[in-house]
Amino acid sequence: MTKNMDHNFISCLELAQAGKAAHDLGRTLFQEINRRNIKLFDLPAHKRIFLFIMTRAVKTFAAIEVLCQRGYGQDVSALLRSLLENLITVQYIIYDPHKADEKARRFVEYKWVIFKRSIAEEELSLRRAPEKSQKEFLEKKALVLSHVEDFKKKYRVTSDRALVTWSGRTVKDMARIVSRELHQEYESMFRQCSRFSHPTILGDKEYIIQGHKTLTFAPGPSAVGVEWNYLFAIQYFIQYLELVNGLFILGYEQPLACLRQNFQNAQDGLNKKSLASSGSSQKSETHLKEVKVYVQY
């Protein structure tokens, strides 16, 4: 396989600086929370769920950075979409302060619906199991089904179709409820990430290098999508940090404003690079029927 682990594909200085600034401020905000010695159940339900989702976001953002640095921009797409969808989820939960705790509890209680989905498969695998194991399973099944029914009654779920997601709404609809801007961001990012998250032919040219008489299928590291995907990741991560600051009243508005400026500098830097490189690529005049196939590995 093509290896290039030492090369950093994030060459835009402003982008690297914005990413580091986001990491540093995130660490500072969480250190501030730790200094307060908060007990778990001193926090309302929506803040407890926020910390769970925020923890996922921190790790996802770090994973995106590693992949981008190593030249796996296309493969970041699924993680970038996850980062945004989790951001939409938490913003939907806290959007209406009067309903935030109820939504957070619903988010947790939805686990019973998830458990129910594995019951049929588990039951099939236990057909020849000892009687004791089957009895334990039946008790578990009854418990799960009971909780699912309670969930449906509590949240007035009248159709199993509404059980597809924890909120009874699609991610797209949750984004629309929060804001028009978030809905537009989801629509745009969903289309972009779907090119690489699903097995479609869209984006095929980004895996192929066409030479004079050679068509190279290249699965190795490249600069394709790296810097722009990392820019979007920083943009979403900043929004998470703003939520941390607001929910826990940390008072870091000024550092967040500086981080926003760093992000704007990175965006300006990438725009300049795009303008400088536009029109520089040339199309090969070689007909595809004449080229030989070469596969890198």
Residues 6+ apart with CB under 8 A from 106: 151, 155, 166, 167
Residue range 127-150: mean pLDDT, rounded: 94
Amino acid in position 165? T
Name residue, tokens 């709404």. Answer: 169
CA neighbor of 225 nearest in space, from 200, 203, 199, 210: 203
Rounded to two decimals, the pTM is 0.89
Residue range 268-276: mean pLDDT, rounded: 87
**pLDDT tens-digit map of 231-265:** 999 999 999 999 999 999 999 999 999 999 999 99
C-beta of residue 288 within 8 angstroms of C-beta of residue 205:
no
Confidence band, pLDDT 50/70/90 cuts, at residue 3: low
Q: For residues 17 and 15, give the distance between their C-alpha atoms in angstroms, rounded to a whole number.
A: 5
Per-residue pLDDT, 279 = 56
Confidence band, pLDDT 50/70/90 cuts, at residue 5: low
Confidence band, pLDDT 50/70/90 cuts, at residue 40: very high
Per-residue pLDDT, 7 = 79
Helices then strands, each counted (H, E), the chain: 11, 3
Cα atoms found within 13 Å of the Cα of residue 111, Cβ hemisphere only: 5
Per-residue pLDDT, 9 = 94
Write the DSSP assignment of 26-63 as a string of letters: HHHHHHHHHHTT--GGGS-HHHHHHHHHHHHHHHHHHH
Per-residue pLDDT, 275 = 82
For the chain, give every domain's residue range.
13-101+179-198+224-283, 111-165
Query: If you average pLDDT over every residue of the chain, what do you get?
Result: 91
